[in-house]
Amino acid sequence: MKRILCLVVAVMLLFSFVLVGCGTKTPTSSETQKPQVTKAAEATTAPAENANKPLVLKDSPYFQGKGLPPVANRMPKEPKITNEMPTDELKYQTGKYGGTLRTVRTDINWDADVFLVNEESLINSPGREGKEITPNIVKSYEVSTDQKEFTFVLRDGMKWSDGQPVTMEDVKFAVNDVLMNKELTPTFPAWLCAAGKAAGNPMTFEAIDNLTFKIKFDQPYGGFLIQLSVNGNGRGYADFIKPAHYLKKYHKTYANAAELEKAIVDAKFKSGEWVNLFNKMDIIYYEVNNPEAIGFPQLTPWILTKNGDVKILERNPYYFKMDSEGQQLPYIDQIQSTLVQNLEMVTMKILAGEVDHSYEWAVMSKIALYKENEAKGGFKTYINTKLHRTGTDIFLNMTYKDANWRKVVQDIRFRQALNLALNKQEIADTVYYGYAKLGQIQGTEFNLAAANKLLDEMGMTKGTDGFRKGPDGKKFTIPFEYAPHMTEFTAMAQLVAEQWKMLGLDVQLKQIDTALWGTRSAANELQCTLLWSSGLVMEWNFADWSNNLWGPLWNTWYTSNGKQGEKPPQDVLDFYKLADDLQQLSFADAKQKGPADIRANLKKNLWLFMPTQDIIQPVCVNAKIRNFADAGLAYGQNFAGEQWWFDK
């Protein structure tokens, strides 16, 4: 089931070509955004200033004396020249080898920094911003002008971290034997159906030759590129490429039956549970810190070699990227991920200079504290990098089972009143310490008089207790339940509750743990809550509009092709159609056309509330680390981890 939970993608590349007809030319920035780009390939030679110099691949001293083949035999015939950050945000400096990157985690296996720096996808968008799409694991890709066919070419000579070649057999195994296997993938992922819809027909796969394969859809699906390169915070390559030579011994179709059964029992699964064993041994993007990752063939810059409270990841000797001088990446030799007890312990380690990079754990409330201790701790606090999502959005569940609740929250006047009662400036200043802008999509007006007038028009009069009544004549209550998914959620929930109470609404605020929140959300039991919506930051053909939070039953109907849930009203169907149409557009057309329609609809209908935007995400980084930009999306920097180096 974990492949159903996998969420989005992306990775990297610098020099790209657009091939038109029989001619080949280097595209200008405007040319790369034409709506019907047919091919995208990359430059694999040195930059123009080095054009007359033969490019000699250079190896890290870390591998000397370890009995490895020469670096030229470990890398593809055409390695990828790294391009992990947009050139307008980062002036790339050719690095030097060496050093250990120290990170911290509070979970036994999960380390967000390690997960992000190790994420690789078929194609990428530098900085994860969607400004351009370039090859990454694949050498090139081609999109048909009708946006239905996507052709990918593997890098000839690419190798897994154990030195075994990456071949078309790895692609066939991933698609035919895992993705298309009903036992391993009982529910086919919606993002791999036509136009990204569960109601669409599944993709079809064709292996053209030893390096080329094609993915086809029966409807236009230009958004497929975004799904592969940006969506889901790192979907990775595992949906399309798996180390068949390693995993076949755990797959019922290929394994020796007796040996497979023994492995199942040894792993403490019940007899015959080969699917559970396979899923445990198949390491995908968010499992790179799991103990089973040791020895698992990967295409990532670092691989886990030591498990425990302190996990060690070492550079991958067969990594497929290099810099423009021919140095195989990554520059940094090791990552050391240390388990700590809590956030306060993380803060103490950051201030003491014992953490070289912290994206997940740096918080706005401590920016002043970080700044005061930078010189002493030998780190730098970046405060111009932004979140890749909206800060904290507010959701009213319009499909909750209570009829009285539905009648109120489905009335646009009620949502308009609540939006007018949000003092967005106070939210930006109090919750985000001024490191946020006011949400522009739904307006910035704060007007309690106008809000009260709308509620009066609805007939929500106040009782003797000062609280407004619902259609049933009883006090109308908003059960506001949230989980502390992010550090700012408590402050946000408390402030919003107080602002809405000023309208005479009975807002009952309650914090619940994250597990219970997930259970209640899945059961359609949350009436009002907090979370974020990534699609509202990355608006082109992005699939995340948080439909499952403001209309769970409608979303179930939509994603099940009408087989479950509840049919939405026409205005919701119109919004879904906008999202569907956006998915079908070419990448370039979606960037140009998509945001205006979606924004206008969100402003008119207020499906959710977005008080702030452009939230700063502070990042604390060792002051000696280079190729880190104080710009763009904070987590986009992590995907460029192989470019970081210590300037000693």
Q: Which CATH number characterizes residue 59's domain? A: 3.90.76.10
- pLDDT value, residue 560: 84
Task: Give one DSSP letter per residue of 586-601, joined into a string.
Answer: -HHHHHHHHHHHHHHH
Q: Is residue 252 part of a domain?
A: yes
DSSP helix/strand/coil, 393:
strand
Residue appearing with tokens 């009213």: 396
- pLDDT value, residue 535: 62
DSSP helix/strand/coil, 96:
coil
CB proximity list for 515: less than 8 A, separation 6 or greater: none
- pLDDT value, residue 163: 98
Mark whether 399 and 252 lie in a shared domain. no
Please check whether residue 354 is in contact with residue 622, taking contact to mean a CB–CB distance below 8 angstroms.
Answer: no
- pLDDT value, residue 47: 37
Q: What is the domain extent for residue 281?
A: 2-87+115-296
Q: Is residue 609 part of a domain?
A: yes
Mark whether 292 and 398 lie in a shared domain. no
Distance (Å, rounded) from C-alpha 509 to C-alpha 479? 6
- pLDDT value, residue 14: 27
The b/e string for 571-597 (b: 16+ C-beta within 10 A; e otherwise) is: ebeebbebbbbbbbbbbbbbbebbbee
- pLDDT value, residue 285: 83
Mark whether 177 and 30 lie in a shared domain. yes
- pLDDT value, residue 534: 67
Q: Please compute, for residue 572, the number of CA atoms within 13 A of its CA located in the half-sphere on the CB side.
A: 23
Distance (Å, rounded) from C-alpha 450 to C-alpha 456? 10
CATH code where residue 412 lies: 3.10.105.10
Q: Is residue 362 part of a domain?
A: no
Q: Is residue 209 part of a domain?
A: yes
Distance (Å, rounded) from C-alpha 166 to C-alpha 243? 8
Task: Give one DSSP letter per residue of 535-571, joined into a string.
Answer: GGTS-SS-----HHHH-HHHHHHHHTTTSSS-PPPHH
Mark whether 10 and 137 lie in a shared domain. yes
Distance (Å, rounded) from C-alpha 589 to C-alpha 591? 5
Peptide bond into 330 cis (omega under 30): yes
Distance (Å, rounded) from C-alpha 247 to C-alpha 245? 6
Distance (Å, rounded) from C-alpha 643 to C-alpha 225? 24
Token couple for 227 = 């799904």
- pLDDT value, residue 233: 52
- pLDDT value, residue 348: 96
Mean pLDDT by runs of 10 across the 648 residues of the chain is 35 28 29 44 44 75 96 97 95 97 93 92 92 95 97 98 98 98 94 88 97 98 91 78 98 98 97 98 92 97 98 98 97 97 92 94 91 97 85 94 98 98 97 92 96 98 97 97 89 97 98 94 97 71 83 92 93 92 89 82 95 92 96 91 96
What backbone torsions phi and psi does residue 17 show, to the nearest 5 degrees?
-120, 150
Mark whether 27 and 172 lie in a shared domain. yes
- pLDDT value, residue 336: 98
Estimate the share of the chain in helix, then strand, then coil, as percent rounded to the nearest 5.
35, 20, 50
Burial of 192 (0-12, 13-18, 19+ CB in 10 A): buried
Mark whether 281 and 416 lie in a shared domain. no
Q: Is residue 71 part of a domain?
A: yes
Mark whether 273 and 407 lie in a shared domain. no
Q: Is residue 325 part of a domain?
A: no
Last residue of a domain, one of 262, 296, 330: 296
- pLDDT value, residue 632: 92
Residue appearing with tokens 């810059």: 301
Domain count within the chain: 2
Residue appearing with tokens 């239905």: 148
- pLDDT value, residue 37: 46
Distances (CA, A) of 567 to 41, 492, 507, 553, 606: 44, 32, 29, 8, 19
CA-wise closest residue to 204 among 219, 185, 223: 219
Mark whether 580 and 440 lie in a shared domain. yes
Mark whether 266 and 411 lie in a shared domain. no
Last residue of a domain, one of 269, 296, 323: 296
Mark whether 556 and 431 lie in a shared domain. yes
CA-wise closest residue to 493 among 528, 455, 441: 528
Mark whether 479 and 584 lie in a shared domain. yes
Please check whether residue 199 is in contact with residue 205, taking contact to mean a CB–CB distance below 8 angstroms.
Answer: no
Length of the chain equals 648
Q: Is residue 315 part of a domain?
A: no
The b/e string for 348-367 (b: 16+ C-beta within 10 A; e otherwise) is: ebbbebbbbbbbbbbbbebb
Task: Give one DSSP letter per residue of 197-262, joined into a string.
Answer: -TTSPBPEEEE-SSSEEEEE-SS--TTHHHHHHTGGGT--STTT---HHHHGGGSTTTS-HHHHHH
Please check whether residue 362 is in contact with residue 350, taking contact to mean a CB–CB distance below 8 angstroms.
Answer: yes
Last residue of a domain, one of 240, 271, 296: 296
CA angle in degrees (0–180, nearest 5) for 258-259-265: 90
Beta bridge partners of 468: 462
Q: Is residue 404 part of a domain?
A: yes
Query: Pairing relation of β-strands 506-511 and 625-626?
Result: unpaired
